[in-house]
Structure 1
Amino acid sequence: MTQTLSSTSTKSPVTVLGLGPMGRALAAAFVEAGHPTTVWNRTSGKAAELEKRGAAVAATAAEAAAASPLVIVCVLDNDALRAVTAPAAEALRGRTLLNLTSNAADHARETAAWAAEHGIDHLDGTIMTPTITIGGPDAVYLYSGPEELYERHRATLAALGGTGTYLGADPGLAGAYDASLLGFFWTAVTGYVHALALARAEGVELTDLAPFAQNLGSLMASVTHVFAEDVEKGRYEGDESNIRSVRAGLAHVLHAAEGKGLDNTVLRAAKALTDRAVADGHGEAAISRLVETVAEPAS
């Protein structure tokens, strides 16, 4: 049965603005958990399945915002976020706006300032797992902003499943984590895509290659904490592996890839980073020392 905007459920009402794949997954999790859920999307048609499952569909973003004390917005980017929330500013007044749009730290802080000017409580957040995890035990969420707001809505957010981590009062923290971790993830994905292209060009069965790629992924997981500690302590001892050896390895891969006519843009950028570190006298330093090279862009 379809909920009305004035549902009398004992669970706190929630509004979701934006019904892309992630927005639909969020709304579905709230519906499944028994929260009166109101949804809105700029283009019609995406709410049909949610409406069948019990969500209320609002005609405007303002109407949707007025239906709940917690309003979650999950749209494509910061421009879309502004386009959705600005017309609903008055309806959002006195409510909590939780932005789960993937966002940069400076944009999150700008949104928090805008919200404060309009009497809107603001939390920022990021979702670090894909849509299929939403509502289940494997979902991962990060939140930043006033701790009191996070605690106020914590029980409602539990409907999303998985683990939620509060990072701190700075509204930009979730965005900082988001940009840093997604930069790592998508660069790694790009590396794997290149590996598949090179292996295919050499006649390798890609499903035979995949288990060895998984082994390398496990190796990467084992060094993430070590690298972070090295950088925090400024300790870059390259006794076991150093930047010069990485540079040689990248040169070897580039030679193989260039012989197959592949697009090696990302690989060349990685090689250029090691070239600069070696030229600056850091060839014998640990690989983690490349953080400092990244932090000092080439002139």
Structure 2
Amino acid sequence: MGVGKPVAVVGLGLMGQALAGAFVRAGYPTTVWNRTPGKAGRLVAEGAAVADSFEQAVAAASVVVVCVADHDVVRGLLRSVGGGLEGKVLVNLTSATSAQMREISGLRGVGGYLAGAIMGMPQGIGTAESLTLYSGPRSVFEVHEEVLRVLGEAVYLGADHGLSSLYAGAGVSLMWSVLNGFLQGVALLEAAGVRASAFVPFARQNIATTADWLAGYAEQIDEGAYPGVDATIDSHAAAMGYLIRESEANGVNAELPRFVRGLAERAVAEGRGRDGYAAMIELFRRP
């Protein structure tokens, strides 16, 4: 028999099935619902109940976890249920912008509400490797923290419902920058017959070294002063030119280093050439 607060999981894509599975395995009474039927077979075999409608799923639970295709689906579902969420907590794990996450808090009938962002893959849900970010009222997070930790590490960011989406955006910005840099490097080394696997140890060390710079850069940004104590934007721009020439000489796509140098050249044109690289934040802050 299940123990703990009854949970509903709405949306049974790969991530939704992983979320529901984690609750079932942890012993929570779990009700599931999906707009397209037929996805709940494995979950039912493990002990989940299937609702015939979104309204029925909400009625069966005290914690309603929504992970569907997009914000428009979430908004439509919540409007259809009216005041049915009063006295319950809504945990919205659907990918959305910060403005969309904030909009949900203003819909009629939405009481306790946490906006969330899953920073991982379905396979990791329910393990220590899984991280989910939450924003909204601290009191709601604290009351339901035990339930949320079933999914993995649960990090509370603050009262602004948009924070989880903003942190997620910042996170994927880092991810894509690192991955694209890795792929650029692999392409360059392949021109000399070096396999991608041989690059990995060096890449990891280089990423770790770069990560060590972040605290110092953050301090400069917070203080609004960018001393060129290690290297100036001028010197970075010169190195970017070297990478462009090396890529072109080896028949490798040079669009990424050209784009990066273009940003640096704009900073130089604005008089930032002798500043440290953290001064580039002034470009990123503007539309």
TM-score in terms of structure 2 length: 0.91
Matched residues in 1 for 2:14 and 2:196: separation?
Answer: 29
Matched residues in 2 for 1:168 and 1:94: separation?
Answer: 22
Residues 1:201 and 1:90: Cα distance change in structure 2 (over 3 Å):
farther
Per the TM alignment, residue 289 of structure 1 is displaced from its structure 2 partner at its CA by 1.0
Residues 1:275 and 1:43: Cα distance change in structure 2 (over 3 Å):
same
Task: Kindly indicate whether residue 97 of structure 2 is the aligned counterpart of residue 136 of structure 1.
Answer: no
Per the TM alignment, residue 30 of structure 1 is displaced from its structure 2 partner at its CA by 0.8
Counterpart for residue 231 of structure 2: 241
Counterpart for residue 57 of structure 2: 64
Per the TM alignment, residue 102 of structure 1 is displaced from its structure 2 partner at its CA by 2.6
Matched residues in 2 for 1:266 and 1:56: separation?
Answer: 50
Q: Which of the residues 140, 153, 162 maps onto 1:149?
A: 140
Q: Which of the residues 61, 81, 92 maps onto 1:88?
A: 81
Q: Where in structure 1 are there 5+ consecutive unaligned residues?
A: 1-7
Per the TM alignment, residue 259 of structure 1 is displaced from its structure 2 partner at its CA by 4.0
Percent sequence identity is 37
Matched residues in 2 for 1:272 and 1:44: separation?
Answer: 50
Per the TM alignment, residue 54 of structure 1 is displaced from its structure 2 partner at its CA by 1.1
Letter in 1 for 2:244: L
Per the TM alignment, residue 260 of structure 1 is displaced from its structure 2 partner at its CA by 4.9
Residues 1:267 and 1:79: Cα distance change in structure 2 (over 3 Å):
farther
Cα deviation 1:198-222 (Å, max 9, x = unaligned): 3334422111111111111211221
Note the 1:190-201 alignment, pairs <5 A: 190-201=180-191
Task: Kindly indicate whether residue 95 of structure 2 is the aligned counterpart of residue 105 of structure 1.
Answer: no
Contact 1:62 1:92 in 2 (8 A): no
Matched residues in 1 for 2:241 and 2:147: separation?
Answer: 52
Residues 1:47 and 1:251: Cα distance change in structure 2 (over 3 Å):
farther
Counterpart for residue 282 of structure 2: 292
Task: Kindly indicate whether residue 59 of structure 2 is the aligned counterpart of residue 76 of structure 1.
Answer: no
Note the 1:194-213 alignment, pairs <5 A: 194-213=184-203
Note the 1:177-196 alignment, pairs <5 A: 177-196=167-186
In the alignment of these two chains, the number of paired residues is 287
Residues 1:81 and 1:261: Cα distance change in structure 2 (over 3 Å):
farther
Matched residues in 2 for 1:82 and 1:119: separation?
Answer: 11
Counterpart for residue 21 of structure 1: 14
Contact 2:7 2:64 in 1 (8 A): yes
1:97 aligned counterpart, secondary structure: strand
Contact 2:117 2:132 in 1 (8 A): yes
TM-score in terms of structure 1 length: 0.88
Matched residues in 1 for 2:188 and 2:39: separation?
Answer: 39
Per the TM alignment, residue 9 of structure 1 is displaced from its structure 2 partner at its CA by 3.2
Letter in 1 for 2:178: A
Q: Which of the residues 220, 226, 233 maps onto 1:230?
A: 220
Per the TM alignment, residue 276 of structure 1 is displaced from its structure 2 partner at its CA by 0.4
Residues 1:212 and 1:127: Cα distance change in structure 2 (over 3 Å):
same
1:143 aligned counterpart, secondary structure: strand
Task: Kindly indicate whether residue 115 of structure 2 is the aligned counterpart of residue 124 of structure 1.
Answer: yes
Cα deviation 1:201-244 (Å, max 9, x = unaligned): 44221111111111112112212222211111112111211211
Matched residues in 1 for 2:78 and 2:55: separation?
Answer: 8
Cα deviation 1:147-186 (Å, max 9, x = unaligned): 2211221121121233x22222111121221112222222
Matched residues in 2 for 1:265 and 1:76: separation?
Answer: 33
Matched residues in 2 for 1:260 and 1:86: separation?
Answer: 57
Matched residues in 1 for 2:118 and 2:95: separation?
Answer: 8
Counterpart for residue 3 of structure 1: none
Contact 1:257 1:264 in 2 (8 A): yes
Letter in 1 for 2:63: L
Residues 1:274 and 1:127: Cα distance change in structure 2 (over 3 Å):
same
